[in-house]
Structure 1
Amino acid sequence: MKLDRIKDVANAVLYEGYILYPYRPSSIKNRQRWTFGGVFPIAFDRQGDASHMETQVLVRGGGRAAVDAHVRFLQIVKREVGCLASPARALPTDGEPALTLVHSLNVDGRELLPWEEAIEREISLRGLGLDDLTSQTSVMPFRFEAARELEPICARDGAVVGALIRTSHAIEGLIETKARKLASDLWKLTIRIENITPLSNEILTDRAAAQLRAFASTHSILTVRDGAFVSLLEPPDDLRADVAQCQNAGTFPVLVGGEDNSAMLSSPIILYDNPAIAPESAGELFDGTEIDEILTLRILAMTDAEKREMSSVDARARALLERTHALTAEDMARLHGVMRNGPSATDVHDPLSETKAVEKPRLVSLLESGLNLSVGARVRLHPKSGGDILDMALEDKVAIVEAIERDFEDRVHVAVTLLDDPGRDLGAAGYPGHRFFFSRDEIEPLATGETP
């Protein structure tokens, strides 16, 4: 069960960068993919494209301590679109039909495009005793065979007009695991992942071809029994020197899964200890360093043609688009302005909760120096001179009074939201970024019926 929870985070790493906004094959950002955790064939000699990934971590434990390792990556599958010269009742059962490769195929309003999909791969090593690994390195070879599949493309009347052709190449690798005893209860564990896939001479300098034989988004999940991992980010003082000697190539190991330190995620993406999926997130958006609210709003703002292209990418992009359109107003509000208290991803609190008990009551209206102002009134903003760029931008803007508040020194502040702010409802709900405070002499009430 714990491994399942860890895999929620690991799967986010696995598909980080799988497809980037604007989620269309025609966008430049999506013509250079698989940028995280690439392990290329050792025969492909190109600077910057590593052929191995190595993890070194410290483990506290006695002679019975044992480690399980789960090495995971994506194998790239090339998807092509083939068109038949004339419709057929079915694809032949023996051999391949004569297909013409095309850049796109429109079938009854559905556009089909070439793309690179992926297969999830996992190799598990279980019960690796640390004591045993000090005397003998564990070497685990693995291989996944080549495959070629044809999926018929059918028109509305059932006739086969073409096929999606999916091709994956054979790939091979080695996982080497060893340990070194540093003290009676301290071990340095090393796991090396190497791509030994052979390459023919004609593709030795072809990066695109080599990438089809690479391990993409490579990472490892490590768990230990009768022991505990040591944080490499915040090690105890007595182990700082040992942690400094840990050399990690292409990966950043962090504690994951809880307070017992029995698991680590060795990720090609820099994370903090015990990372977690934000509970407000409705699902994976794939985009590096994603901000759910911004990407969601951008997806909703795409044109119908752009959304059709996005839905043609693959099932994951299609599900993302459908999920985004299904979000409710409440779902959207949860994505905005969340603040957390402490390390727990679910420990969300109101940033003003600590002062609510001693808050002074809000005013519903203000009558001062001839100024009659109430909640809901329209006002024109005149920020004081000498302010920042935001004050300059708000000059002469028309706003709605949302609240009239007093601070602990009895100074009055008027909270407003901009009339033309598409997120004004968020400001009315008290979220920062859409609500602004001004003093009484910085606002000019608009007369009834006055045009903003």
Structure 2
Amino acid sequence: MPVSGFPAGIERGFAAARQIADAVLLEGYVLYPYRASAAKNRLRWQFGVLVPPEYTAQGGEHSHQRTECVMEARGEDRLAVELRFLRVQRRTVEQATATGGFEPVERLELTDRVLVDWDEGVEERIELLVPVQELTGQGVQRAFRLPGVGETELLREHGTPVGRLVRRRAQVDGLVRLTVEELPGPYRAQRLTVVVENVSAWMPPRRASREEALPRSLVSAHLLLGLEHGRFVSATDPPEWARPAVERCRSRHTWPVLAGPEGERGVVLSSPIILEDHPAVAPESLGTLYDATEIDEILALRTAALTEEEKREARGTDERAAAVIDLAESMPPEVLERLHGAVRGLREITGGAAEAEQPWWDPGGDPTVDPERDRVLVDGRSVGAGSRVLLRPGRRRTDAQDLFLAGRTGVVEAVLHDVDGSVHLAVTVEDDPGADLWRAQGRFRYFQPDEVTPLDDVTPLDEVTALDDVTPLDGADRAELP
């Protein structure tokens, strides 16, 4: 792996972005229960796989990815490019024989682990630092070759050889092409295009399997892009002056987002997984669990509950899987409690110590509201718990289930205020045979005040005209009832 030769400023930006980049690199690397024998671990490497070009017709996957984004380079600016990917390393297991040799086996049991054949992922980086001025016109292209290698690891127990692991990596050839186009207009901006290609000259046999292509592929390929002095423009929320240029960008098989701390624009992460700008790993997470869309608490609890035999097999599957087992076993209760969840952006609670002990979301925590006693004006009439209303759900914020209730009558059970200041009416539907059960469980239908009409002296709509002839109206379009 190359040692970074980037300027200090760029390297600081990349270092801040690498935590989330590492999560992209290893997304779904090994799935719970972290054993090679698990069915879901037999189809791996789902994101950012760039296969040899001759295999694309057979496998339906791509041999390249293209990133286009808008940037504001300055003067003698330089662009740093870090291409990161996994290289599949095929590991086979051999057992020692009585004659001093080794023979392949499906399973080798050691004291602390059970070893089976497995594909490991070796992280690779290709680094470029290029003056932006050199990228105009024909641009710059850099080829790279990772030669095939093989190595063995001797396994001993009590000083006696019991087997060995044989690891092999196939040759992989790639190409990075960079071009910059000056954009018209009063703002000095450029469109950057970075194309990453797998150019390995592997001729797959007829009906070659994906497993045969993977060792010659770039897996979980993604880019970190950094400017020494300039800034990048967000692809999801650009300023108005840059919006037309951003909309003309065409990325393929990847998605560029601003990376690093909120507010900084010096680094872009171009990921095969769609992310938001400035993505971050939750601070409550103690380590990488590698499972796609992982839920740390559930995975930690399930991992800790594996049998000792299952843990031995997981430890023998991969070093990263072994680290997950160790993490789950060493997690103290107070740390596990942090994984229950977190509420961010809490509003300040004022009042005495006794009031502050109540959670902000508890209705009793705010003495200024009382769902069972509060009332709200609707069409100039006071509506609260016990009021009968005609239901007229609007189309702006409703679903089909609410539309079915258009023209029905209901009873208001409570007036609720949410944290954004909106008012909602909790309603049970009249003539619903399950109304008492819903009420006992505290489960209601919810409507906003402009979606109901008080029924003090109004004839229900279904007594005036057939329901099939009724068109639900928004509050702004409400017509006077006959």
Structures share fold, TM-score greater than 0.5 = yes
Instruction: Give the partner amino acid of 1:267.
Output: S
The CA deviation at 1:293 is 1.2
Q: Residues 148-167 of structure 1 correspond to what in structure 2 (within 5 A)? A: 148-156=150-158, 158-167=159-168
- Residues 148, 58 of structure 1: alpha-carbon distance in 2 compared, 3 angstrom cutoff: same
Q: Determine if contact 2:50/2:218 at 8 Å carries over to the other structure.
A: yes
Q: 1: distance between equivalents of 2:354 and 2:440?
A: 22
Structure with more strand by fraction: 1
Structure 1 equivalent of residue 208 of structure 2: 205
Q: How far did 1:72 drift?
A: 0.6
> Residue 80 of structure 1 corresponds to which residue in structure 2?
92
AA in 1 matched with 2:191? K
SS in 2 for 1:180: strand
Q: Do the aligned partners of 1:256 and 1:273 also contact (CA within 8 Å) in 2? A: yes
2:176 aligns with 175
CA contact (8 A) 2:77 2:230 kept: yes
Question: Which residue, out of 326, 329, 343, partners 2:330?
Answer: 326
Q: Tell whether 2:72 aligns with 1:60.
A: yes
Q: Is the Cα–Cα contact under 8 Å of residues 41 and 198 in structure 1 kept in the other structure?
A: yes
Are the counterparts in 2 of residues 360 and 408 from structure 1 also a CA contact under 8 Å? no
Match of 2:107 in 1: 104
Query: Alpha-carbon deviation of 1:279?
Result: 1.4
Cα deviation, 1:372-408, whole Å, max 9, x if unaligned, reads: xxxxxxxxxxxxxxxxxxxxxxxxxxxxxxx995752
Deviation, 1:359, is: 8.0
The gaps in structure 1 that reach 5 residues or longer are 89-97, 342-350, 365-402, 414-440, 444-452
Is residue 2:130 matched to residue 1:124?
A: no
The question of whether the paired residues in 1 share the 8 Å contact of 2:181 and 2:190 is answered with yes
* Greater fraction of residues in helix: 2
Larger radius of gyration: 2
1:248 Cα deviation after fit: 1.0
Counterpart code for 1:277: V
| SS of equivalent residue, structure 2 residue 131 | strand
- Is the contact made by 1:363 and 1:405 (CA closer than 8 Å) also made in structure 2? no
Query: Alpha carbons of 1:120 and 1:406: their partners in 2 closer, same or farther (altered >3 Å)?
Result: closer
Q: How many angstroms does 1:121 deviate by? A: 0.6
Question: Which residue in the other structure is 2:141 paired with?
Answer: 139
Q: Partners in 2 of 1:108 and 1:22 — Cα distance?
A: 20
Gaps of at least 5 residues in structure 2 are 1-11, 373-438, 442-482
Tell whether 2:38 aligns with 1:27.
yes
1:292 aligns with one of 296, 314, 322: 296
SS in 1 for 2:205: helix
In 2, are the aligned partners of 1:86 and 1:161 still within 8 Å (CA)?
A: no
Q: Which amino acid aligns with 1:250?
A: H
Cα distance change of structure 1 residues 204 and 52 upon mapping to structure 2, 3 Å threshold: farther
In the superposition, relative to structure 1, how do residues 407 and 117 fare at CA in structure 2: closer, same or farther (>3 Å)?
A: same
Contact in 2 for aligned 1:178/1:189 (Cα 8 Å): yes
Between 175-184 and 190-199, report the one with greater CA deviation.
175-184
Q: TM-score, normalised to structure 1's length? A: 0.74
Across the two proteins, how many residue pairs are aligned to each other?
Answer: 357
**1:219–1:267 contact (8 Å) kept in structure 2:** yes
Counterpart residue type for residue 162 of structure 1: G
How far 1:24 sits from its partner (Å)? 1.1
Corresponding residue number in structure 2 for 1:408: 367
Deviation, 1:213, is 0.6
Residue pair 2:198, 2:217 contacting (<8 A) in 1 also = yes
Aligned-pair CA distance for 1:358: 6.4
Between the aligned partners of 1:116 and 1:23, the Cα distance in structure 2 is 13
| Contact 1:43–1:204 (CA under 8 A) maintained in structure 2 | no
Identity of aligned residues (%): 34
The equivalent residue for 1:113 is: 116
Listed one character per residue, the Cα deviations across residues 130-157 of structure 1 (whole Å, up to 9, x for unaligned) are x32112321100001111111111122x
Question: For the structure 1 residues 288 and 406, does the alpha-carbon distance in structure 2 shift closer, same or farther, using more than 3 Å as the test?
Answer: closer
